[in-house]
Amino acid sequence: MSESRAELQAESQVESQLENLVEKMTALGVDLDGLIDPSNPDLALLRNIFASVPLSGNRQREELVHCPETHRYAEVGCYPDHRVPVHGNVMEGITLLDRFYATQCPLASTVEDHLELIMKEKLMIVLIMGAASTRIPNYLPQREGEEIVYGSIAVKNIRASSGSPFKKLLLTKASGGSQEEKTHTFYLFQASGWPDSSTPADHNLIAALFRCALQIIKFKVNRGATNRICQLVHCSAGIGRTCTYIGIIQGIVRLLKTGVPFTYRFAVELLFHLRDQRFAAIQTFEQFAYMLRYIKDWCDWAPEHDPGSLEVISRF
């Protein structure tokens, strides 16, 4: 089957399943084309939507790949397409700004593969959603000047400024034979105030993080970077906090780039989109409701308070 034909069939399947859900809800008297009021949403309808979209989206659970030796949680599988070896998936977006790798926190046995991915794809930003714990162990150097070696790759903290939420890290891959030593720098941010299975304690966290990420990507692209994906996000399992953040960014970009109205249909389509790419994306209803509220709040807030970020989004 040609790639174009396969894509058409996949799009047809997605549209059909979405329409089936819309028809089912319409038959129950639900108006998915009603606008969502962030200050007073129809919580019963949102709960219905969250419960109605399967954890596997439009896909089949049988597609999931399970690798017990590399997966942190056996019950969280990966879709085989766009899969990365450290248990993760590519989360496709509309622009360079909202494409991500979503992964689990690497195991001790997969940290080298994790760093290899960052180096190979020349990723600019790594976002860790959650404080260091037994579920998210510190595997990257936290103090300026600190270096940790994993197999053939050394990672060194070369800047940990108190004036920036990001740390700057240097990866060095040892040379082998006639090969030259390879290096790559990237920026690290750890959102310590984001509890597991919940939402950020500080509502300003995401706006600050998003603003910094946009400026880093803009700077790198202006310097000649040609990445297809710039950012990797993980929490512990890589489905709750990780996909909540990714959903917020993808939702913002989708609203601004396409001009679609902020309706309950938009909420259905966004959750399907996330779960079509990462199994069980968005773990709790609290995260789903927070994601939607934040998308609209940011789009209403940014014109006055963060026009610079809007300018960056408009360029890509």
Tokens 């084309």 sit on residue:
33
Percent of all residues in the chain with a pLDDT value above 70, rounded to a whole number: 92
pTM score: 0.92
User: Does the residue 26 lie in any domain?
Assistant: no
- pLDDT exceeds cutoff 90 at 229: yes
User: Does the residue 277 lie in any domain?
Assistant: yes
294-303 tens-digit pLDDT: 999 999 999 9
- In whole angstroms, give the CA distance from residue 179 to residue 192: 39
Query: Residue 80's domain spans which residues?
Result: 33-315
- Would you state the pLDDT for residue 200? 93
157-201 tens-digit pLDDT: 999 876 566 899 999 997 665 567 899 999 999 998 999 999 998
Radius of gyration of the chain (CA): 20
45-59 tens-digit pLDDT: 999 999 999 999 888
User: Does the residue 274 lie in any domain?
Assistant: yes
**Helix, strand or coil for residue 107?**
coil
* 84 CB neighbour count, 10 Å cutoff: 17
How many separate domains does the chain show? 1
User: Does the residue 135 lie in any domain?
Assistant: yes
DSSP 197: T
CB 277 within 8 A of CB 92: yes
- In whole angstroms, give the CA distance from residue 64 to residue 245: 23
- pLDDT exceeds cutoff 90 at 126: yes
Q: Nearest CA to 234 among 97, 89, 24, 70?
A: 89
- In whole angstroms, give the CA distance from residue 94 to residue 235: 23
User: Does the residue 122 lie in any domain?
Assistant: yes
